[in-house]
Amino acid sequence: MRKYSAQIANVAAFLLMLLMNGLANGLPINGKTTGEISDAFPVLFTPAPMTFVIRGVIYLLLLAYVIYQILPAQHTALFQQQIGLWFVISCCLNAAWRFCWHYEQFVPTLLIMLGLLVSLWAIYRRLHIGRRTVPPLEWWFVHLPFSAYFGWISVATIANLTIVLATCGLGNLGLPPVLFTSLLMLFAEGLGIFMATHRNEMVYPLVIVWALIGIARRHHTTHISLSVIAAILASALVMVIVIVKLKNNGGRFPKIRAL
């Protein structure tokens, strides 16, 4: 039992994170759902509600990882050493963020979110995602979940920052709201391009694309110029991903990895 302690800790931490997420919207904690608190702030970077279905997808991917990593055959796998305690840390930070968010402690939520971002970057970097060829099962059950999760938390950190600025009375830092949000989207775009070009990574930038589509969707009737900018950025990032993949595969699309 002791030799599986790290894997069991991963399961326990994941269940804690799921519990907090369930209570956050099931009770809900402090009488408000996560989305209701977010919607109380008129920040333009927040995407349309439908965009957040990706959280459910990511949690399913993480569930697949948790099941995969506890299998006896994976006990001595290299990824176990690479991830170490970082997954446990990320789950605890996720749960703590949810608690602080629902009690509207917004500055602490940003600090916790930054910690979560760092923990996922540590996992991403230590796994050499995009730079190391791994067996198909490991890609589907380890690399894919953490790449998607890291991409989404990158977007969530930017959104969290905008809300903290709003609560501190700093708003858009004196800039017009559309311009400020466009600059934030350009920053997110830059992250996606960097991951695509420097790490030959597809999942992380596709998450950025999804977020940009969500922003475009939310503002297509209220801030048309912002919606158009978001759509152009999403399309441009898709083109970058396609070009990088074609270039790195001799002008051919890579084959889908099968189980």
The pLDDT confidence band at residue 259, using thresholds 50, 70 and 90, is: very low
The pLDDT confidence band at residue 4, using thresholds 50, 70 and 90, is: confident
pLDDT (0 to 100) of residue 258: 44
Q: Indicate if the pLDDT at residue 10 is higher than 90.
A: yes
List the structure tokens of 13. 């931490």
Q: Confirm whether 255 is domain-assigned.
A: no
The pLDDT confidence band at residue 19, using thresholds 50, 70 and 90, is: very high
Q: Confirm whether 35 is domain-assigned.
A: yes
Q: Indicate if the pLDDT at residue 40 is higher than 50.
A: yes
Q: Confirm whether 207 is domain-assigned.
A: no
How big is the CA angle at 139 (ends 137 and 143), to the nearest 5 degrees? 135
Q: Confirm whether 41 is domain-assigned.
A: yes
Q: How many domains does the chain have?
A: 1
The pLDDT confidence band at residue 248, using thresholds 50, 70 and 90, is: confident
Question: Average pLDDT, stretch 214-233?
Answer: 97
- Over the stretch 135-152, which tens digit does the pLDDT of each residue have? 999 999 999 999 999 999
The candidate with the shortest Cα–Cα distance to 235, out of 201, 200, 203, 192, is 192
The chain-wide mean pLDDT, for the chain, equals 94
pLDDT (0 to 100) of residue 3: 65
Residue 227: burial class (beta carbons within 10 Å; 0-12, 13-18, 19+) = middle
pLDDT (0 to 100) of residue 58: 98
Question: Average pLDDT, stretch 52-56?
Answer: 96
- Over the stretch 117-130, which tens digit does the pLDDT of each residue have? 999 999 999 999 99
pLDDT (0 to 100) of residue 2: 62
- Over the stretch 152-210, which tens digit does the pLDDT of each residue have? 999 999 999 999 999 999 989 999 999 999 999 999 999 999 999 999 999 999 999 99
Q: Confirm whether 89 is domain-assigned.
A: yes
Q: Confirm whether 232 is domain-assigned.
A: no
Interacting residues of 185 by C-beta distance below 8 A, sequence separation 6+: 45, 212, 215, 229, 230, 233
Q: Confirm whether 68 is domain-assigned.
A: yes
Q: Indicate if the pLDDT at residue 48 is higher than 80.
A: yes
Residue 37 lies in domain: 2-175
pLDDT (0 to 100) of residue 120: 99
Q: What percentage of the chain carries pLDDT values higher than 90?
A: 91
pLDDT (0 to 100) of residue 256: 46
Backbone angles phi, psi at 130, to 5 degrees: 85, -15
Q: Confirm whether 154 is domain-assigned.
A: yes
The answer to whether 47 and 215 are in contact (CB under 8 A) is yes
